[in-house]
Chains A and B, each alone.
Chain A
Amino acid sequence: MLLQVDNLVKTFGGIRAVDNLSFEIESGSIVSLVGPNGSGKTTVFNLITGFLKPDSGTILFNNTRISSKPPHSIARAGVGRTFQNIRLFSQLSVLDNIMLAFKYGTGENFFNGLFQTRNMKAKEGKSRKRAEELLHLIGLSEKMDVLAETLSHGNKKLLELARILALDPEIFLLDEPLSGLFPEKRVQMLNHLKELNRNGKTIILIEHDINVVMSIAKRIIVLGSGTKIACGSPEEIKANKNVLSAYLGKAIL
């Protein structure tokens, strides 16, 4: 198992945002996390990526416990995420946004910068080339030098994806990557996700559009009030009564 979440609990004041949640993610799969608004999907992402500390429970990634590590070490270990409300480096160029995400190792060391070492320049040159390739792949080559904040909403979403591609994690936690996208851009984004998966990357996807979820995900986890109310293949979920009642309410008999 690539990712194992065990009995995760997170409370905000009196609200149990995540309540005894357990699930496992297999390497190379696409799993979709669905649920009504406020069901704790984003909180689960924040817990996995270390931006929130769980009250109890453990998270194992590649059999290493990551639930007590700071966000940057979790990201370096191979867990990448995007944000529901896009978080770009607004006043940096599109190219810089991507170059910032690479793992430079020693190239980004203070002293390498101070003395402008050859090592740093070589790494910088390499990553610039790689960044240009990524921008080409994502279709933003022409916007390379503009500030990220000037991009359209759709392009911002694509840039956020490109940025996480630069980070090159093992598992991608994507928080509503399709929301607010023009149909053409949705198709483009979905193709990128499928391509990623073909290359062996694992994806956890938060998505509200149930058609998209059914078409792309191999497995679906349904959350309701912080607990797992259903889990299984798209067909199983469609037939599940709990899911229907969570979304539409229970029939009064």
Chain B
Amino acid sequence: MEYIVHILILSGIYMILTLSLNLMIGYTGLTALGHIAFAAIGAYTSSLLAINFGISPWIGLLAGAILASFLGLLVSYPALRQKGDYLALTTVGLGIIVYSVLKNWVALTRGPMGLNGIPPFTFFGYGGSNVFGYLVLVLFFVLLTLIVLRNITHSPFGRILKGIREDEIAASAMGKNVNKHKLIVLVAGAFFAGVAGCLYAHYITFIDPSSFTMMESITVLLMVVFGGMASLRGSIIGAAVLVIFPEMLRFLGMPTSVAAPLRQMIYGLLLVVLMLWRPQGLMGKFMFKKTL
């Protein structure tokens, strides 16, 4: 039972990441491939605050999310000047930079050894090692993310985001400030990724730079594409399926040396099948145009 709850908690954390990345890619058309970097900032900020200063994870969560937003603000500098493939490469670079800093700034992050003994969340004094309690906490944040993103996207503001995705030039010819909107999206997306990173850190209670590699960003991207661009429901389904499905491999009794690469192979296979039969994703409302 605890195992199932554990999987649900992980799905929930990935849902927050996927939803926030969908805001950037699916709704606004910002091809950001360094999403996990924002999560890493959130995770390390609240963990370090908790370990070094004994600050409550609740405050750490807010601090981590805000610091991640600042990174989003920083990324906006190149992001407002580049599009498409160029932006994708820049954000990949961002992911690598954050990873390298975490790995090499040993004095602060203890480098590859990682941070252990991160205190869990506590609810008004109740112990934090209770996985059921943690599930409720994560679901609360999933719901919060979902409501916020639903409200943003179901509004004139959200319509402008979709307009920017479709045609930036036309959007600015209609008097919409494209840069301002992209900036808000990057900051908001980074905020929620920071929240997800923080939830992860205080749940696992151990983080090291290898939790936040390029591969993780790709996994989240895969969840967005799988579930469907510009569909919040799709992101929920995409994250859940791609977390739960590989876990089933465990029951086949394979050694981990086989199961881990098999997981990657299944991701690859799923993506190929999906692109052939349903290129817009399961619930997708938008498909990248073929640009020739």
Contact = CB atoms under 8 A, between A and B. Distances in A.
B interface: dominant SS: helix
Nearest to B280: A91
Interface string A76-111: 100011010001111110001001110110011110
A126 to B, nearest CB: 11
Contacts of A72: 172, 174-178
A134 to B, nearest CB: 14
B156 interface: yes
A116 B157 CA distance: 11
Q: How large is the interface on B (under 10, 10 to 19, 20 to 34, 35 or more residues)?
A: 20 to 34
A108 B166 contact: no
Interface stretch (B68-76, B105-113, B147-155, B213-221): B147-155
A115 B150 CA distance: 10
A75 B174 contact: yes
B174 A113 contact: no
A100 B159 contact: yes
B162 interface: yes
Contacts of A87: 167, 169-170, 173
Q: How large is the interface on A (under 10, 10 to 19, 20 to 34, 35 or more residues)?
A: 35 or more
Given A89-B166, A92-B162, A107-B156, 11 more contacts: A73-B175, A75-B173, A87-B169, A87-B170, A89-B167, A91-B162, A99-B159, A108-B155, A109-B157, A114-B148, A115-B151
Interface of B: 148, 151-152, 154-160, 162-163, 166-167, 169-178, 184, 285-287, 289
8 contacts: A72-B177, A75-B172, A87-B170, A100-B174, A110-B184, A116-B154, A120-B155, A167-B175
Interface of A: 49, 51, 70-73, 75-76, 80-81, 83, 87-92, 96, 99-101, 103-104, 107-110, 112-116, 120, 123-124, 163, 167
